[in-house]
Structure 1
Amino acid sequence: MKALIILSLSVLTFVSAHFSYAQDAKPNVVLLTSLETPRIWYKPKGWKIDPKLEKIFKKHFDKSGYNIVVKHSVDFHELRRQLHNPNNIAVFWASHAAGTSQNTTGSNNTGAVLSINGKDVKDLFKSVHPNIRYLGLVGCDAEGILNEISREGHYRYNPNLMTHSFTKKIDARKGLKKSLKASVGQLGYTKKRLFFLKKKSLIFRHDFYGREDLLKVNNYFHCAKENGYLVKGVRTLSQDSMEVAITNSQGILKILPAAKAGDRQEFQFYLPYHPEFARRDMKISVDSLIYFGEERKYLGEFDFETDWGTDWRVFAKSDGTVLGVTKNLYLPRGSLPSIDDVQTYKELSCNDTEEMKVHVY
């Protein structure tokens, strides 16, 4: 009996400690880098940019109370995961970007945010979890991209979100420092203190501290509702393949991870409904997101199906050769869905339900 009581107390102590830890979880401030080290003639051969950016980031948030997360050489699958992570309060992304006009909108507004492996990830920034209060895009001429995303209404469910980027070319280290400085009022405050140098001189330094009301993970965010048409899909692979995005004219609908020959991925997504929904909205692309490439990529074989009877066929030659180098187009067959086929679902940035996960067999 005594042993049983001791065991019960031990279990209760563990559960209590675990519960307290969960309750006291700190939000993450996240630095994601995805760029090659630039060649600088006066730097030694082994000099790398990533450790320098990490040092700047950690120094800024050292006394903040936030949990510091740093990831390097990030691909678009990891970027999507971090932008949808409810434990993140701020995400800083550092990569190369191609300029976009500040005064041009829509299809004429060309621009790109490039990952380290040449993928254009700009569309991923259209979907940000409502818990994230600050999004810093450290890249040349990238402010227009974020402005366009905002104008298109993609941040309508992010009332607390502040975005920051640049209208000109910027060094990554200088850009990160500027982005960190811009985030201060959104995430906390600074205190000035005296700092002793080795030469016995005094200077002032500013330490950053997180706001008290933001230092706990917000588990009570508002996850908005959307309307759309449910599509179920299967990806089978006869050879190894990279991660891909499923897109339509509205943007990215689903991200599938890289897979090996013989794998089978089952998933589902929604085609967003709008009053003028038409057949063009049902065209689906399977996209590697490679910004520019002439080498044909194998992306897998896809089957899409719906409860209302529409299916899709890949755009190919009469002999079955799939057209497309880094992206494959799937065209709908059958009738359009009706208003009765519309379903309501959680907005994708905070939809972590089991049925929305990718299942690999």
Structure 2
Amino acid sequence: MRFERRLWLRESSTGVLDKLWRMPWLFVLLLCAVAAVGYVALYSAGGGAPEPYAQKHAIRFGFGLVLMLSVAMIDIRVIQRLAWVGYAAGVGLLVLVAFHGEVGKGAQRWIDLGPLQLQPSELMKILLVVALASWFHRASWERIGNPLFLIPPLLAIAIPAALIFKQPNLGNAVITVMVGGAVFFAGGVRLWKFALAIGGVVFAAPIVYDHLKDYQRARITTFLDPESDPLGAGYNIIQSKIALGSGGLWGKGFLQGTQGHLNFLPEKQTDFIFTMISEEFGLVGALTVMGLLALVIVFAYVVALRSRHQFGRLVAVGLGTNFFLYVFVNIAMVTGSIPVGGVPLPLISHGGSAMLTVMLGFGILMSVWVHRDAELGAAEEAA
């Protein structure tokens, strides 16, 4: 009995050491570098002090790092088996927000957990990716071509998207749909069905616009003509463009950004943190940050290419697309390329909920990498 117990402990220890050896440690260092950029930017946003933003950012990243590495050690087969349980829990949190959520800035999006305000819409995107990947994992090409097979995953996207839109949170609702669409595309759904869906979106756009809140309509109007209300709805984007332009090639220098430190730049610690970086470190600094973020995205798609099982490929594509959309929407927003939508820059902006959910996603991504050669079963035979 003692011998068997000793043998089991030895095998378990060997398994843990093997997983640690297979960890993508360069990717972990890359995430630390991006978070360090966030610390520097938030230190400046706090007026040259670790409080109130930078120190909390470091602590949250530390917790996120532990969470990420812990999740990375979980067998990917366990994650697959719990995929729809996690999805149901995420939808339950969204329903809870609708009835008992914290209200802030006219929106009901958060659950108060004491030291952390959880935004379930951020978590839901991660859980949705895993659930959809589980659905498409063993489906044959013929089965995916059956429209009836696509009804459950379409409902799986529509339910959280509708609940998020109702909060109201149009930006996250759109990202949720796009992330789900990425998994559909990677799963093998025919292109003509995407064309049909896009046509439906174009047809429904006027109806959706009629149901938008006044401030959401103002964002669209401001995007088309920011100068129409320079001291009101257009103020944020105008000040952001001034800060971006004033940084020049090399920037004004650390802690020397006038737009940020004289409080002309709104939400400099969250939505407009990239603008603050650009003002102080210029085009060179902005491109460096974009390069680091691009490497994170590239790693996700490399994981998708290296995974031997369809579940891992779909999870990696979905999580990589989710991170890409975070980055794209935030940078496009502050440069005036799309309407302002309140999407943070991941690992850099101030905010605990987005930080922890992104790190959870990276933990799942790393689990795919560590278990990329695991046997999860082949595709189903066509009926």
With the length of structure 1 as denominator, give the TM-score of the two structures. Answer: 0.21
Larger Rg: 1
With the length of structure 2 as denominator, give the TM-score of the two structures. Answer: 0.20
Which structure's relative contact order is higher, taking Cα pairs within 8 Å and 6+ residues apart? 2
Say which structure is richer in helix. 2
